Amino acid sequence: MSELKNKRIITVAPTGAWPTKENTPNVPIEPEEIAEEIYNCWKEGAAIAHIHVRNDEGKAAMEFSKFEKVVTLVRAMKDCDIIMNLTTSGGIGLKEDDRIKPFYELKPEMASYDCGTMNWQHVTVFENNPAFLERLGTLMQEVGVKPEVEVFDPGMIYNAQHYLKNGFLKAPLHFQFCMGVPGGISATTKNLVFMKSCMEEVAPGSTWSAFGVGARAMEILYATVAMGGHVRVGMEDNVLYKKGVIAESNMVFVARAKRIIEEFGLETATPNEARELLGLKK
Ligand code: ZN
C-alpha cells in the first residue's frame, strides 16, 4: 500500500434533499434504489456514502424506517465495507428529535453536523441553533459517531472552534466545505483557499473535503484535489454531469472524481484507508 498521505477519500451523496424524479429520473429515492446505488458507487471507488432518505411522496424527510431500511440493506452487502454517513438535516424545518434518531439508533460511523444557522437559498431558514448543536455533539460522542462538520461559510468554521473548545466536538475534526449554496459562500477557488486557511487557524490537524454545487462544481473538485482535500460528488449537489447533460447515475460522478485523483498522481482511499485517515474506530 502506498502512503496514506497520497490517498483521497471520495464521498458520494447520491440523493440529498432536493432532486426529484421530475428533475432527473436517475436520482435514487426508494431505500432499495439508494442502497443499490451506494453499492455501485463503492465499486467505482467511493469510500463514504452520505445518506438522505425521502418519504413516500419523494420529499425530504427524516423518516426513521427509511434510514433503517437503507442501513440494513447496505450492511447486508457482505463484500461492501463503505462508510455510512447519515444526514442530521434531511431537509429544512424538520424536527430536532427526528434529525437525531437515525444516527443515535442506527450508529453509522459518521453523521453530518451542520455547524450554524443560515438563510437557505434566500427563501427559508436552515436552523441549527446553539442548543441543538450542543445536544448533537454530545449525543454523537455518546454513541461513537464521528461528526462530519459541514460548513457553508467561514463563520461556521469559527462556530466549530467554539464547540471544540467547549467539548461538544473532539479533535481531530473532519470538515466538509459546502460551497455555492445561495445564502452561503460562493464556490470559487479563492474562497476555498480562504476556507482552508480559516480551518487551519481554528483546528489545525483537521481533515477536510469540499464540493461546489451547480456550475462551479468542477472548479472546486479540481482545486480541492490540488490543495490536499478529499472530495464529495453526487446528485445531492449536482444533477448535471456537465452543462445540459443529466448524469445517468451517481457512479459517473464517482468514476470522474477517481480519474481526476489518479491523473493528479494520487490514489483513491479504500473505506479502510479512509477510516485510518479520519480516525474512525474499527
Ligand atoms: Zn446532505
The DSSP element (H or E) to which 195 belongs, if any, is helix 189-202
The DSSP element (H or E) to which 141 belongs, if any, is helix 130-143
* C-alpha cell read off for 8: 483521497
CA nearest to 31, candidates 63, 84, 67, 85: 67
| pLDDT(1) > 70 | no
| pLDDT(2) > 90 | no
The DSSP element (H or E) to which 116 belongs, if any, is none
Mean pLDDT, range 198-222, rounded to an integer:
96
Residue 16 CA to ligand 1 centre (angstroms)? 5
Contact 10, 47 (CB under 8 A): yes
The per-residue pLDDT for range 19-43, each reduced to its tens digit, is 999 999 999 999 999 999 999 999 9
The DSSP element (H or E) to which 106 belongs, if any, is helix 96-106
* Model pTM above 0.95: yes
**Region of residue 234 (left: phi > 0; alpha: psi -120 to 50; beta: else):** left
Residue 1 CA to ligand 1 centre (angstroms)? 31
Residue 51 CA to ligand 1 centre (angstroms)? 7
Residue 110 CA to ligand 1 centre (angstroms)? 12
Mean pLDDT, range 199-223, rounded to an integer:
96
Residue 269 CA to ligand 1 centre (angstroms)? 21
Residues within 5 A (CB) of ion ligand 1: 87
Which residues fall within 8 angstroms of residue 85, CB to CB, at 6 or more apart?
A: 11, 48, 49, 50, 51, 108, 109, 110, 111, 112, 148
Banded pLDDT at 66 (limits 50, 70, 90): very high
Would you tell me how many other CB atoms lie within 10 Å of the CB of residue 226? 12
- pLDDT reported for residue 264: 98
Banded pLDDT at 239 (limits 50, 70, 90): very high
Residue 78 CA to ligand 1 centre (angstroms)? 25
